[in-house]
Structure 1
Amino acid sequence: MMGGRSEYPELWAFLESLHPGERLAGVVTAIEPFGVFVALDDGPRHPVFPGVGFITLPELSWRRFEAASDVVRVGQPLSCEFLQFDTWNLEARLSLRATQPDPFQAFADGITEGRKLRGQVTKLVPFGAFVQLVDGVEGLVHLRELTGTPVETPSDAVQVGDEVTVLVTEIDRERRRLALSRRQASSEPE
């Protein structure tokens, strides 16, 4: 642990004054493989880290990305939502994606199960294929739902980049998951 109230009284007082959901402005100071450091405009400096604010990778964006540098750059001003006071590292855990509308919920508002859609295969995994339907929204076609005839691996049926027609079989808003079927989309009349 970094140190208690007595060692860094100003930092403790600042962090304890923050409330979950509060908006904080800052500037990206460092991009690491595990997340992004943010120097907060209204906060004190951090004794060890390049910023008092920290954004973990999942909190950067609703969309899939390869590296944090695809989403933000050093020196970029940000407005983030405060999540919690990390008392171990004496930092403010922040979320950038909380300040943006979730594309999944907007998408789910406009579709129902049983709906046919076109999408692009983005990733193959041992148990199926991910298909992007709109920017920021992907669903999983399970291996058994890829084709009418059973296949051993997803690559026997589709490749990354393929355009496919799928049927929405399940919408899970809480976990932000879509289950899709390519098999059912092709077996039904258009």
Structure 2
Amino acid sequence: MMGGSSENPELWAFLESLHYGEILSGTVTAIERFGVFVALDDGPDHPVFPGVGFITIPELSWRHLEAVEGVVRVGQRVSAEFLQFDTWNLEARLSLRATQPDPFQAFADRTTVGQKLHGRVTKLVPFGAFVRVTDGIEGLVHLRELASTPVESPSDAVQAGDEVAVVVTEIDRERRRLSLSRRQGSSDHR
């Protein structure tokens, strides 16, 4: 524990002055498994960490990331949205993705329930299959929607890598979830 406002009054005062949604600029100083440190332009230095700003992995990008390096590199200038003051670590928790348009919402704007899409099966799970319908957007085809006749397991109907025709059955903007059916899309025998 770093000790609160008494030991680092300048840092504490700076962090207390920040507001949710404010945009902070800085330079990426370190990339760790758990996130990215940012030295903020306007803030004081951190007594322990390589930067007062910190971006967790999920807040880096709307995409599911395999590697952080694809998004940022050390020395890069970034502008990120302030989320919260982490009083335990004396950090400004930041979001890089909040400054970028959410591809899911853009997809939802141009897609309607009942629309036919073509996609590629990305992975099978016990309750169905995930299908990527466009760059960065995947939907779930539930087990009961995978084939016109019931199947025991997703692999009875599809394999990862298969190209499939699907129909949009639900678009949940709040949870950023897309539900698809292959059963309704299979009238054309694909």
**Structure 1 residue 27: deviation in Å?**
1.4
| Shift in Å, 1:74 | 1.7
Corresponding residue for 1:150?
150
Unaligned runs of 5+ in 2: none
TM-score (norm 2): 0.93
What is the aligned length? 190
SS for the counterpart of 1:180 is strand
The alpha-carbon distance between structure 1 residues 74 and 160, as it changes in their structure 2 partners (threshold 3 A), is farther
Q: Which runs of 4+ in 1 moved over 3 A?
A: 187-190
Aligned twin of 2:45: 45
| Structure 2 match to 1:22 | 22
1:116–1:168 CA contact under 8 A, matched in 2? yes
Partner of 1:166: 166
Q: Give the structure 2 partner of residue 120 of structure 1.
A: 120
Q: TM-score, normalised by structure 1?
A: 0.93
Give ranges in structure 1 of 5+ residues lacking alignment. Answer: none
Name 1:55's counterpart in structure 2.
Answer: 55
Describe how 1:76-91 pairs up with structure 2 within 5 A: 76-91=76-91
Give the RMSD, CA atoms, in angstroms: 1.7
**Displacement after TM superposition at 1:150 (Å):** 2.6
Q: Could you tell which deviates more after superposition, 139-148 or 93-102? A: 139-148
Distance 1:153 1:71, change over 3 A: farther
Quick one: distance in 1 between partners of 2:151 and 2:72?
Answer: 40
Structure 2: distance between partners of 1:109 and 1:41: 36
Q: How far is 1:38 from its partner? A: 1.1
Aligned pairs for 1:60-99 (under 5 A) are 60-99=60-99
The residue identity in structure 2 corresponding to 1:22 is: E
8 Å CA contact retained: 1:118, 1:164: yes
How many angstroms does 1:121 deviate by? 1.6
Distance 1:87 1:12 in 2: 8
Aligned-partner Cα distance in 1 for 2:70–2:128: 26
SS where residue 124 of structure 1 aligns? Answer: strand
- Residue aligned with 1:183, SS: coil
Say if 2:139 is the partner of 1:139: yes
